[in-house]
Structure formats: structure tokens, C-alpha cells
Amino acid sequence: MFGLHYRLERKAIGLVVAIILVASVGGLMEIAPLFTIQDTVEKAADMRLYTPLELAGRNIYIREGCYACHSQMIRTLQDEVERYGQYSLAVESKYDHPMLWGSKRTGPDLARIGGKYSNEWHVAHLNDPRAVVPQSVMPSYHWLSTTELRTDDLSLHLEAQREVGVPYTADMIAHAREDAYGQAQPDSSLVDGVTARYGAATNVQAFTDPSGPLTEMDALVAYLQVLGKLTNASKSPVNGPDAGDEP
């Protein structure tokens, strides 16, 4: 084999042809699955969109580099399923732009972290990780509790998501700011609008102090609490292309 390689190195045209051939095979292996994507990606009739508050929290999650230490994709290996829960389905990342599957796990996988801990736990953990998990190496994000969330540009974020295929409606975009406040204030008159636009399953809670301003901590906790909760497709007994179509 090395003899063939050495001979190719002496012939520029032959080497170029060989490189193109090898690159073509690799490219084909990456592209081929896209031709059958409609048959391999599960369907989920109950799949819902990120609310403006959750989307803002996702942006903060990306901004702070949380994805560098936490993956959001549980593999089909038995030990991963036993530790983190049901393996991840492609449809669960349907509206993720960009996707945050990752492979680095300095911290645990977060694909199914939603609902596992209380809002108070998340706030305490983000403010002082070692006060909750003594062996944690995660840095503190205490400033999120005192940094007011910017809401005047939320409609622009929803519009950007719509440009890449996320089906946000004009009504959702127009009321993005109000819906962000409404989701974090369960006693507010804005709640009805949030649930009307995003569904009764929307996680409407006081994520931090409801009497204070809407903060980046509210947004990040709202996002963490919805991970793994956008659809029930993973709980279907048959996780095939039609999974989630049946109630």
C-alpha cells in the first residue's frame, strides 16, 4: 500500500484524482443520510416552540459558553440511558438553531434536566455551584440574578428564528416582550396570552423573585426547566418516524 502511495506522490495528476476520490467517498457518507431524513427523523404532533423567555435563556446559555462543558444529547448506550434518561431523539432538536448536542462533559448531560430540580435549586446552583454540589468545578454566574433581561429585542430574535424555519407566527413575534414577562409572573394578566400562543403546557412559573425585575437568571432557569420537555415523543413505545402522532 505504501508503495502505491509513494508512486502516486510522484504523479501530480494521479495524486489529485486519488484525493478527489477519497474526499468524494467521505462526502457521500455525510450527505447520503440527508436523502432519507424524512424517514429517519421522528414526528411529534405535540412539539412546541421555545417561548421568548426560554429562547432568551438559551441565548444566555450560549453566550456564557455552557455548551462547552455540558452536552445535550444522550446516546443509546445503556450506561448513558441509566444515568441521564431516555436517549435523545432527533425531533427533540427540531427547533434548535444552533443545535447544542456537544460531546464534552465536564458537567453532566442536560438533555433531560427539565423538571428534575426546583427553580430554587437552579438559582442556588448558578449563584454558588459548590454550595449545592461540593465537588463542582463550575464557575459562579451570580451576576445573572442582578442583570435585568433585555426584552426590547426579543421580537427580533423570534424573527431570526422564523427565517431559519421555526414557525413563529406574526402574533408571537408582536407579543414577544409581553409573553416573556407573562411566563415569569403567574399572577399577571399576561399569562392568558402566553398560554394561548404557546399552549397550555407552557411552564408558567416565578423562576426567581416575582416581585423583582425580570432578570437573566429568570430566562436561563426557564430554559433549563424546559430541556427534554418540548415534546413527549421520547416516552412513546415506538420511537419511529410516526412516533408522537398518536395521543
**66-102 residue pLDDT tens:** 999 999 999 999 999 999 999 999 899 999 999 999 9
Q: Give residues with Cβ within 8 angstroms of 115, minimum separation 6.
A: 225, 228, 229
Taking all residues of the chain, what is their mean pLDDT, rounded to a whole number? 90
More confident residue, 139 or 11: 139
The reported pLDDT for the residue numbered 130 is 96
The reported pLDDT for the residue numbered 241 is 43
The reported pLDDT for the residue numbered 120 is 96
The reported pLDDT for the residue numbered 225 is 98
Beta bridge partner(s), residue 148: 215
What class does CATH assign to 49-235? mainly alpha
Q: How confident is the model at residue 1 (pLDDT cuts 50, 70, 90)?
A: low
Q: What is the dihedral of CA 166, 169, 171, 177, to 10 degrees?
A: 10
Domain layout of the chain by residue ranges: 2-39, 49-235
Question: In the chain, what percentage of residues exceed pLDDT 70?
Answer: 95
The reported pLDDT for the residue numbered 247 is 30
The Cβ of residue 86 has, within 10 Å, a number of other Cβ atoms equal to 17
The reported pLDDT for the residue numbered 210 is 82
